[in-house]
Amino acid sequence: MEDQVCIKAVIWDMGGVIMRTQDPEPRSKLAERYGLTRAGLEKIIFGSDSAQLAEAGKITGEQHWRNMSAQFSLDEVGLADFQTSFWGGDRADGELVEYIRSLRPQYRTALLSNAWSTARLEISQAYDVLDAFDLSIFSAEVNLAKPDPAIFRLAIERLGILPQEAIFVDDFIANVEAAARLGIHAVQFHNTAQAHGDVDALLRRSICA
C-alpha cells in the first residue's frame, strides 16, 4: 500500500503545460525565413542571454524584444509581424484549465511561470486562465526564476503550506527535479491525460488530519 500524503495545493507551470504550441506551422515558417530551424529560433527567443535576463526581471519584456529586433534587423512593423508569427500557433489548453478549476476549493491552485514582465498583461488580455489560480507568480515580477529553489520556497510560503503538501507540474525536468529536492511532489508534464492522471493519483492518496 502506498504511503498516504496530505496535499493542500497544486502548482502549475504555464508555458509548455497550460500554454502550448498547438500549430507549429507559423513558428516554423518564421524560422525558415531567417534560415533557422524552429528549435534554433526558440533557443534565441527563449534561451538567449537577453531572455534569461528578462525571465529574472533584470530587463523588461519590452527590452528583450528590442534586443531581438536588433538581432533580426526588424523595424517596428517588422517586429509586430515577427511576434504575431512567433506566437501564432500557441493556444491555451482549455481541458487542462477546466481540470485546474475543478480542483478548487478543495485544493488551492497556483501558477509558477518563468515569464517576462509583459506576461501577466498579455495572458490576461488573450486568455481566460488566470482566474483559475488562487496565486500566480511570474518570475520577472519576483526577480527569481526556476529552477532556483528560492522561487519554489516563495510559492510555498505564499500558499501558506509545507513543501510536502504541494504538487508541482512542469514540462522541464530540471524544474521538476528542483521542486522534488525540496520535498514537493513533482510531476513532469508530457501530455494532458498523463498529467491529469498523475496528479489524480497523488490526490487519491491525500488524507489531511
Q: Do 38 and 104 lie in a common domain?
A: no
The pTM is what?
Answer: 0.95
- Looking at the 3D structure of the chain, how many domains does it have? 2
pLDDT(1) > 60: no
Domain extent for 112:
9-20+92-204
Q: Do 171 and 195 lie in a common domain?
A: yes
Q: Do 75 and 122 lie in a common domain?
A: no
Q: Do 104 and 54 lie in a common domain?
A: no
Q: Which of 49, 69, 87 is the last residue of a domain?
A: 87
Q: Do 54 and 72 lie in a common domain?
A: yes
CA 72 – CA 69 distance, rounded (Å): 5
Check which CATH number belongs to the domain holding 143 and give it: 3.40.50.1000
Cβ atoms of 137 and 145 closer than 8 Å: no
Cis peptide before 147 (omega within 30 of 0): yes
Q: Do 77 and 105 lie in a common domain?
A: no
> What average pLDDT is seen over the chain?
96
Q: What is the pLDDT of residues 132-148, one digit of tens each?
A: 999 999 999 999 999 99
Q: Do 147 and 122 lie in a common domain?
A: yes
CA 11 – CA 19 distance, rounded (Å): 15
Mean pLDDT of 59-80: 97
% of the chain at pLDDT higher than 70:
99
pLDDT of 3: 72
Q: What is the pLDDT of residues 147-188, one digit of tens each?
A: 999 999 999 999 999 999 999 999 999 999 999 999 999 999
> Is 4 within a domain?
no
Mean pLDDT of 118-130: 93
pLDDT of 156: 98
Q: Which of 87, 106, 141 is the last residue of a domain?
A: 87
Q: Which of 32, 66, 87 is the last residue of a domain?
A: 87
pLDDT of 2: 59
